[in-house]
Structures are given as structure tokens and as C-alpha cells.
Amino acid sequence: MEKETLAQGSASMVDCVRERLGGLGPVPILIQVISTIGWAVLAVLLCYGGVKLFDLLDPIDYRQEIERGNIAAAIVVAAVILALASIVIVSIAV
């Protein structure tokens, strides 16, 4: 008796997944993959542009400071990257 119920439960779960994905054909999945890659590229470009803007606006040359071994400069750049990434994630998710 339990095996029949379990089999029916898994079949309804598969049907639910098919409904949510719009079918299990290759086209909707391919569209989702392309969409994900596009958003990832956009996020990387926004983060890169934000770091470049920070470099232009701040008078300190952080690349040179990091090359000289300044750990504080590396921490500042890492904090800027994390802050930009969190803003980009929230803006893309909405």
C-alpha cells in the first residue's frame, strides 16, 4: 500500500516540475541557461565598471599600493567589490 502511494506522490512531483518548467523540452531549458549567462555577464560588467569608477574618483592608486604589499589597500578594494556585488545582486534579483 505504501509503495503505491509513494509512486503516485513521485509522479505528481514530476508533473508539478513539468508544469513549472513549461515542459521538459530543450527550448525552455536553453532559454533559462542563456538568461542566466546573460545576467551573470551583466553582473560582472557592472562590478568591473564600479571598481573602475572607484579608481577614477579616489586619488589613491590602489593597484600600485597592492603591488607594494599594502594589505590595507587590498582590504579596501575587496570591501568595494563586495559592496558593489551586493548592490548588483539585489538590483538583478528584483
Secondary structure (H, E, C), 18-87: HHHHCCCCHHHHHHHHHHHHHHHHHHHHHHHHHHHHHHHHCCCCHHHHHHCCCHHHHHHHHHHHHHHHHH
Query: What's the rounded mean pLDDT across residues 53-82?
Result: 93
Q: What is the pTM of this model?
A: 0.60
Q: What is the structure's pLDDT at 21?
A: 62
Least-confidence region, from 31-35, 56-60, 63-67: 31-35
